[in-house]
Amino acid sequence: MIDFKFKPFNEMTDDDYKLVGFKSGLEIHQQLYTERKLFCRCPAGLYNHKYDAEILRHMRPTLSELGEYDGTALMEFKTKKDIIYHINRDSVCTYEMDDTPPFEINEQALDIAIEIGMLYRCSIIDEIHIARKQYLDGSIPTGFQRTSIISVDGRVPYKDREIEILQISIEEDSCREVSDYGHTRVYVADRLGMPLIETVTAPDMKTPVEVAEVGKILSNIVKSTGKVRTGAGAAREDVNVSVAGGTRIEIKGVPSLKRIPLLTYNEAMRQWNLLRLREELKKRGITAETFEHKIENITKILRKTIYLPIANAMNDGKVIYAVTLKKFKGFLNWQTQTETYFSKEISDRVRVIACLSALPNIIHSDSTAETISTAEWQKVKKTIGATDEDTVVIVWGPETDVITASREIAIRAKEVTIGIPSETRQALRDGTNGFERILPGPERMYPDTDLPPKRVTEKRKQRIKAQVPELYWEKENWYRELKVPEDLIQPLAISRLTGLFKKTVNEWKIDPVLTAVVLIQYPKRLRKMKTDFEKIDEEVFAEILKAYKDGKIQREGILMLLANSVKQGVFDKDSIPPQIRETEVAALIKNSDAELRKSRIYNKDSYGNYLTGKVMNEVRGRISSSAVINTVEKLLKEKK
């Protein structure tokens, strides 16, 4: 193994990543913007924590055709979890619970998936076959997800090369997890069955920053269709990472692209450091064959300890076990990630698989922290026959859980002698990752006999092709030529309103800068003004810009009209203020002038501004501000 130690995140260079053989790919899950779910007619995007019914479920593993148990299923079985689904009758029907067969695939969702495939320059599949993908983590009540590959073999330009898009599938979203503690995990079923696409890239990214940059490009590309959901939870990234000699590890459900660089750095470091630990073990003569451990019940020895976590467990009538890891001394303090050590790998397994959720759930003899007393450690070691070369791990709780935990501690320690275990990991807030679950076996897909294959006709492809948007960076070039302000260029290029922008500028000849401001900046301002702001329909924007083009409203009136439309939920023609003629304005100014002169104004220089402001308040949106200013100036000049 190359002699290299990971440096702090900011000091790592591209060459360092090359040296360790960093490789990473993305799997992006993106919800599509449809009214209904993928295989039933329940509404999509109706989120609610209220529920009418509860379903309880237990996992039971069955042998696969190959005579093996699926890793995930076996793990979930070990956890003995009560899995509870909360069901609201407005967002879930009997289909999601596998009580009625599926409806035909949602055509709107299929169109969007094909369109996105075309954007990625993929080959579109001629005949789609619905498959069932095994889902044994509990997030889908039926234990499988309906999924279908829509397109394959696409590419996206990046730097001086191309990133390969392996495939795009359309599939059903899973349940939302609400809580997971001890032996109970609760899901809400509202999201279940909503259409999403999964885009899988090849592991073409060579540094953590590249992963985030490519993620951003992919996210912009799908957003630019205007047909995907946005906001919290609408797009979720799985990132896979490996280093030379390591294992392809998936970090699941990364909520934000910004977190990818640190997460992938830490995962690469974890794999590298675990491989280095394997070398060290070898030096001590520990391999998979020579690995030794011992599990013992030590409840009697520590019954009277004052170390609080264990003392509390004793009060509740629980038990204490010790696991001796032969010749492991010091290795539980071996660094794996930033400020994270090998003991965390063990504690994670104990938490997830033995369901000992309250932390700390283990203590160990390598630790320098205050736990049980030195005398107690010595007594424990003596009783179980551990030497100074060994590490002792202590775990406490209900006996069945503690037995599971002790075995898991030994399993995880032994795995170091082999390599990086195949598992999925979860992204943590501090940029490190934690164990999530054992990776499912490879036999995950099987044909779904409920639905016939479906042809994607040439006619359908042509129809969709005609509406595929330009790639967003091509639009950006055009916006730059039009002198659209720099900060509006990318948001506009990936906005659902790009089509309207084109029409407004090319056909209606409205100033592109004004149009960009109206389409991108005004909604932001409205969102700040009103908390219950929802998406404004494209039609509303179109009607208002049309009214401006026809001279029915002034520049100043656009924001006001948009605000009105947001309030009412629709565009209301009657809310267009009646036009006002210049002669009327002149009269209004004269009246205001007379009124204003009655009040005392100390700063005579500002008089013009006062007057203009007063008049503008009354005519806002009905005539341009420059017309008012000109008339006021003229009047004041005449008076002098």
Show the site string, 425-444: x = touches Zn ion by CB under 5 A, - = not: --------------------
Torsional class of 569: left (φ above 0), alpha (ψ -120 to 50), beta (otherwise): left
Task: Specify the residue, 88 or 432, whose C-beta has the smaller distance to Zn ion.
Answer: 88
Task: Specify the residue, 193 or 246, whose C-beta has the smaller distance to Zn ion.
Answer: 193
* Least CB distance to Zn ion at residue 38 (A): 10
Total residues in contact with Zn ion, by rule CB under 5 A: 4
Q: Which amino acid is at 365?
A: S
Tell which positions 80-109 bind Zn ion, by CB under 5 A. Answer: 93, 95
Distance of CA 448 to the CA centre of its chain: 28
Task: Specify the residue, 40 or 200, whose C-beta has the smaller distance to Zn ion.
Answer: 40
Task: Specify the residue, 17 or 95, whose C-beta has the smaller distance to Zn ion.
Answer: 95
* Least CB distance to Zn ion at residue 93 (A): 3
Show the site string, 251-290: x = touches Zn ion by CB under 5 A, - = not: ----------------------------------------
> 396 is written with which tokens?
């406490």
Helix axes 538-549, 557-568, angle to 10 degrees: 150
Contact 174, 143 (CB under 8 A): no
Task: Specify the residue, 43 or 255, whose C-beta has the smaller distance to Zn ion.
Answer: 43
- What residue has token string 């992919």? 218
Q: For residues 412 and 349, give the distance between their C-alpha atoms in angstroms, rounded to a whole number.
A: 8
40 binds Zn ion (CB under 5 A): yes
320 binds Zn ion (CB under 5 A): no
Q: Which stretch binds Zn ion (CB under 5 A): 40-48, 168-176, 228-236, 332-340?
A: 40-48
Contact 439, 422 (CB under 8 A): yes
Length of the chain, in residues: 640
Strand 249-254 versus strand 423-427 pairing type: parallel
**CB count, 10 Å around CB of 257?**
20
> 153 is written with which tokens?
């073999």
Task: Specify the residue, 20 or 42, whose C-beta has the smaller distance to Zn ion.
Answer: 42
Task: Specify the residue, 93 or 456, whose C-beta has the smaller distance to Zn ion.
Answer: 93
Contact 468, 118 (CB under 8 A): yes
Q: Which stretch binds Zn ion (CB under 5 A): 38-46, 250-258, 438-446, 591-599?
A: 38-46
Q: Which amino acid is at 186?
A: V
Q: Where are the alpha helices (DSSP H) in 535-606?
A: 538-549, 557-568, 582-598
Helix axes 260-283, 208-223, angle to 10 degrees: 140
* Least CB distance to Zn ion at residue 396 (A): 45
Task: Specify the residue, 89 or 303, whose C-beta has the smaller distance to Zn ion.
Answer: 89
* Least CB distance to Zn ion at residue 424 (A): 28
Task: Specify the residue, 40 or 59, whose C-beta has the smaller distance to Zn ion.
Answer: 40
22 binds Zn ion (CB under 5 A): no
Tell which positions 498-527 bind Zn ion, by CB under 5 A. Answer: none
Task: Specify the residue, 42 or 301, whose C-beta has the smaller distance to Zn ion.
Answer: 42
Distances from the Cα of 229 to the Cα of 153, 225, 385, 399, 440, angstroms: 24, 11, 60, 47, 29
Contact 167, 147 (CB under 8 A): no
> 289 is written with which tokens?
């064959």
Q: Which residue in 26, 28, 32, 42 binds Zn ion (CB under 5 A)?
A: 42
Distances from the Cα of 447 to the Cα of 105, 134, 195, 453, angstroms: 15, 11, 19, 10
Task: Specify the residue, 90 or 126, whose C-beta has the smaller distance to Zn ion.
Answer: 90
| Closest listed residue to residue 219, CA positions, set 449, 30, 86, 432 | 30
Q: Which stretch binds Zn ion (CB under 5 A): 32-40, 280-288, 318-326, 612-620?
A: 32-40
Task: Specify the residue, 194 or 471, whose C-beta has the smaller distance to Zn ion.
Answer: 194
Q: For residues 640 and 635, give the distance between their C-alpha atoms in angstroms, rounded to a whole number.
A: 9
* Least CB distance to Zn ion at residue 521 (A): 39
Contact 628, 608 (CB under 8 A): no
Q: Which amino acid is at 637?
A: K
* Least CB distance to Zn ion at residue 233 (A): 19
Task: Specify the residue, 93 or 445, whose C-beta has the smaller distance to Zn ion.
Answer: 93
* Least CB distance to Zn ion at residue 90 (A): 10
> 298 is written with which tokens?
């030590």
* Least CB distance to Zn ion at residue 187 (A): 15
- What residue has token string 């109706």? 46
Contact 119, 470 (CB under 8 A): no
What residues make contact with Zn ion under the rule CB under 5 A?
Answer: 40, 42, 93, 95
